[in-house]
Amino acid sequence: MIRYIAGRLPSAVVVLFLASILIFSVMRLVPGDPALALAGPDATPEAIAAIRHSLGLDKSIPAQYLTWIGDVLILDLGRSFVLGGQISDLVLAGLGNTAVLAGSALLLAVVLSLVLSVAVVVWPKKWLTSVVNLLNTLSVALPNFVTGVLLVLVFAVLIPVLPSGGVPPGGYLARPDITFQYLLLPSLCLALPVAAALTRFLSEALRTEMAQQYVITARAAGVPRWNLVTRSALRNALPTMLTVLGIQTGHLLGGAVLVEAIFAWPGIGQLIEQGIGRRDYPVVQVLLLLSVTIFVLIQLLTDIVHAYLDPRIRIGGQQ
Amino acid sequence: MNSSLSTAGLDRRAFFRGSAIAAFAVFGSGSLAACSSAVGEQRSDAVESVEPVRGGTLTLAIPDDVSPAALLTSTTVAGVTISGLVYETLTRYPLDSVVPQPVLAKAWKLSDDGLTLTLDLRDDVTFHSGRRFTSADAEFSLRTYADPKFSAQLRSTAAAITGFDSSNPNTLVLTLAHRTGNIFDLLDLAPIFDPETFDKAVTGESFVGTGPFVFTSRTPNSSISFDRNPDYWVAERPYLDHVEARIVPDAQARLTSLKSGQVSLVAPASLPFRDSQNLAKTSGFATTSIEGAELQIYLGANVTADGLTDVRARKALAYAIDRDRIMSEVYRDTGYAANLPWPKSSPAYDAAKNATYTRDVGKARALVGDLGALPTIPLTYTGASPDFEAAAQIVQANLAEAGIRVELDPVEASIFVKQLIGAEFKGLWLTNHTFAQYVPSTLTVSAYPFNAAHNASKFSSPAYSAAAEGAWQVPDGSSDEAKKLYAELGTQLLNELFLIEIGVVVPQVSAAETVRGLAWTKGRQPQFANTFLA
């Protein structure tokens, strides 16, 4: 297993290095200038030059890249051009909020998909399958910004039982009941498309598993359908679900940008969106690199878990 | 084949138990909300009252976080909010005039030659740090304002101050390089900083002023909190105990935050005009206009671009635009059509001149006919703004009626600013400007589009420069002499039309009806010393 993991690491490092060059280059290719964004429309050329110098933007592009990547490697992420603070502080705060949101959304998605997938396979009623399919289609078809606005409209404005946005005022741990209410709408909005994709794949994998010879034999021997699904088919279908979960986690982080904007959730997505709009190069570069790192790590983790669950993969990898 | 039928897994009971927990997690919010409601805790529990009430927290939604490095520009609503709550200025204009009123300066005297301004300062003011405010602090703040690296809008006026005498802690004497008609604009806009903590202000760590509220904390991209200043020099003020500004970047989210009671107020001009108008008709909410803090929407023209070099083409544009339709459909009648930038409250407002170019498609067509075929002209605007998008579409349709083809060119905000400062527009552009609500000459020396020396239109004219300089150097910006010079400036603007004004827009502010005593400056900075929750 260790050899399998060691074999996967070099490609991850190469991906991260190439990503850093790509991210840095793309940011410099995007039209717009952070010095101008800071200076405002009434700035003089002298003021803009002074700001550009203070931000280090008057150096050559390779020199700027080397300075940046050198600092990142020693974990000095620099200061935000726009927000003024240390990027490490901004990222930690944003990352914490996004992790809470994405984590709760992921948990919700997994629970929902498990419940629905097992239900449609254990009780293969036509109406139940139709309802689940309809919910799946709606969840995938409706973009986050529509679902989010609808949820806010219904549960925060028309029937005002939940907050329309923001984070719990006293922090997440101070009042769990209040935290739960703040989290429910944004995490549900983020979880729905992920849950739909997971349900679709998992229910299909379960159906395939239920058509296997060993299941037919077991059914003929009188083993209840429920036992077959939960004790055998589900375990065999989990690798498929894990693969999809890995990919969907990436999509989920992407979707967080919109959901955080709709629910005024001060996470990484909001930081990226504002950073791009105001050309806050250091913040956007760090956040994009962080996103790539998280994605690479999740893929690595998925591969490792996959290999753990299915020995053929790690043996094949070693060979 | 997997034959592990007996391996540990979910049994039916465990599945139902898990499902029940999941169902509770998803659907149990209602019951939880009934026990301890996050919504209920955000709402004001104050009773209806018109008498000022002490205490309470005012929560307002703002669209962005502060850019500390740009604290002296009005580029963020958060910066404007901090400026209004934490800092004070030496003098302050009321909304309806440009006659300065005392704030940190009790009285002042301008010498007969207009070159020396003596300010008598209050001696009972302390910074939030506890240190006494003196004339040296005022000198530091005005010198800082003139520093080019802060890119403050009235820097040219601050730079006209060539001498400071702060030897008396209660008196500041300013020596001016020349007579400066808008010196009180500078005193209205320049915040008075605490020199000992200014470094922390430009990094966003701390903001220390003399204002009614003390900065307490900032969570970047999330919220900024303020507490009541217990040592405020105005007795018994402010009424509120706390103010919390929540950063809500999405306009729809700001609206729902207000409607759901999570915030009691949305910062001025931070909601679409249609939403503000609807809130005015909704029970429990109020929308008010901030007359005196106007914005102006205009069409800029690069006078060197193909099709726009001849002033007759620009006149055709001015005749073709349906200003009333734009003001009605886009700005929901929250302002009025205009040909000149200055609003009705300005000493430079001239009703007759503002009717110079009313919609006349016939005249526009005749002018286009004289010029022959015009090329397609690009019209650049900030695509993220639904108001600019709608206004640009109306302009495009209007000009098509006059035989002028326009190609819409929506761009990102930062690219728009780059093109504006770099004078890079390929034809026309549509946006808004401010500063016309101050002393009229401020516009032509401080607002970039009107700058006589260097502007986005690439326009220059000795007559316009002379008119701008003459208006700026009148000592009393609201005198009869000044009004004559403003009239000349207006004539130049109408004749040359490098900027084609569309209308004056009055910013709207929407709040819950329980919020009373709201006040704003001409720069839309909050003045919450008298604000209370009814």
B184-206: pLDDT as tens digits:
999 999 999 999 999 999 888 89
Q: Does pLDDT of B39 surpass 70?
A: no
Q: How confident is the model at residue B141 (pLDDT cuts 50, 70, 90)?
A: very high
Interface of B with A in 271-290 (CB under 8 A): none
pLDDT of residue A268: 86
* β-bridge partners, B214: B227
Lowest mean pLDDT among A190-194, B308-312, B472-476: B472-476
Q: Answer yes or no: do B421 and A227 touch at CB < 8 A.
A: no
Over range B272-292, report the average pLDDT.
93
Structure tokens at A52: 């550009």
Percent of chain B with pLDDT over 70: 91
Is B39 at the interface with chain A, CB within 8 A? yes
* Cross-chain residue pair B413–A264, CB shorter than 8 Å: no
Measured distance CA(A263)–CA(B2) in Å, rounded: 46
Mean pLDDT of B332-346: 94
Identity of the residue in A41, A47, A84 whose CB atom sits nearest the CB atom of B203: A84
Q: What is the pLDDT along chain A (319 residues), one digit of tens a residue?
A: 777 777 778 888 898 999 999 999 988 887 777 777 777 766 777 777 877 887 788 888 898 899 889 988 888 888 888 888 888 988 888 889 998 999 999 999 999 999 999 999 888 888 999 999 999 999 888 988 899 999 999 999 888 899 988 888 888 988 899 999 999 999 999 999 999 999 999 999 898 888 889 888 988 888 888 888 888 888 888 887 888 887 888 778 778 888 998 898 998 888 888 888 878 888 889 988 988 888 888 888 888 887 787 777 766 655 4
SS3 string of B474-526? CCCCCCHHHHHHHHHHHHHHHHHCCEEEEEEECCEEEEECCEECCCECCCCCE
The pLDDT tens digits of the residues spanning B360-397 come to 999 999 999 999 888 999 999 998 888 899 999 999 99
What is the predicted pLDDT for the residue at A59? 86
Neighbour-count burial for B229-256, b at 16+ CB within 10 Å, e otherwise = beebbeeebbbbeebbbbbbbbbbbbbb
Give residue B19's pLDDT. Answer: 53
- In chain A, positions 283-312, which contact chain B (CB-CB < 8 Å)? none
Asked whether B391 and B430 are in contact (CB, 8 A), the reply is yes
Query: Is pLDDT at B90 greater than 80 in this prediction?
Result: yes
H, E, C per residue of B189-229: HCCCCCHHHHHHHHCCCCCCCCCCEEEEEEECCCEEEEEEC
Give pLDDT, residue B3: 38
* For residue B29, pLDDT beyond 50: no
- Beta-bridged to residue B244, according to DSSP, are B59, B225
Q: Do A39 and B421 touch (CB under 8 A)?
A: yes
Inform me whether the C-beta atom of residue B249 falls under 8 Å from chain A C-beta atoms.
Answer: yes
pLDDT confidence of residue B441: 87
In this prediction, residue B1 carries a pLDDT of 38
Where do we find the tokens 């043996």?
Answer: A315
Task: Return the pLDDT at A316.
Answer: 64
Q: Chain A: residue nearest B10 by CA?
A: A230
Closest CA to B527 of B70, B75, B92, B101: B92
pLDDT at res. A82 = 81
* pLDDT tens-digit series, residues B422-455: 788 999 999 999 889 999 988 888 777 888 888 8
Using the CB atoms, write b or e for B83-102: b if 16+ within 10 Å: bbbbbbbbbbbebeebebee
**Residue B437, both tokens:** 């609500």
Q: Which residue has the tokens 């002042």?
A: B108
Best residue of A42, A82, A212 to probe chain B, by most B CBs closer than 10 Å: A42
Q: Inter-chain contact A270–B417, Cβ cutoff 8 Å? A: no
- The structure tokens 């009934």 sit at B34
Residue A51 and residue B4: Cβ atoms within 8 Å?
A: no
Complex prediction ipTM: 0.74
Query: For residues A188 and B149, what is the distance between their CA atoms, to the nearest angstrom?
Result: 46
Interface of A with B in 11-40 (CB under 8 A): 31-33, 36-40
Measured torsion, CA atoms of residues B427, B428, B429, B435, in degrees rounded to the nearest 10: 120
pLDDT at residue B23 above 60? Answer: no
Q: Check B253 against A164: CB less than 8 A apart.
A: yes
What is the spatial distance between Cα A94 and Cα B222, in angstroms, rounded to a whole number? 10
Task: Determine contact: A83 vs chain B, CB below 8 A.
Answer: yes
* CB pairs A-B closer than 8 Å: 243
CA of B224 vs chain A CAs: smallest distance (Å): 12
- Confidence at B473, pLDDT banded by 50, 70, 90: confident
Tell me: pLDDT of B290 over 90.
Answer: yes
Instruction: Please determine, for residue B328, whether its predicted confidence score (pLDDT) is greater than 90.
Output: yes
A98-120 pLDDT, tens digit per residue, is 989 999 999 999 999 999 999 99
Contact status of B386 with chain A (Cβ, < 8 Å): no
- Is the predicted pLDDT of residue B61 greater than 70, yes or no? yes
| Token digits of residue B21 | 């927990």
More confident: B140 or B12 = B140
Degrees to nearest 5, angle at CA A135 with A134 and A141: 85
Q: How many CA atoms lie within 13 A of B201 on its CB side?
A: 23
Confidence class for position B71, pLDDT limits 50, 70, 90: confident
Q: Is the pLDDT of residue B52 over 50?
A: yes
Decide if A230 and B74 are in contact by the 8 Å CB cutoff.
no
pLDDT of residue B221: 84
Section B79-99 average pLDDT: 95
Whether A44 and B155 lie within 8 Å, measured CB to CB: yes
B408 SS3 class: strand
Q: Does the global pTM surpass 0.95?
A: no
Q: Are residues A84 and B4, on separate chains, in Cβ contact within 8 Å?
A: no
Residues of A with Cβ-Cβ distance to B151 under 8 angstroms: 38-40, 42-44, 47-48, 51
pLDDT digits (tens, 9 = 90+) for B231-248: 999 999 999 999 999 999
| Contact at CB, A44 and B222, closer than 8 angstroms | no
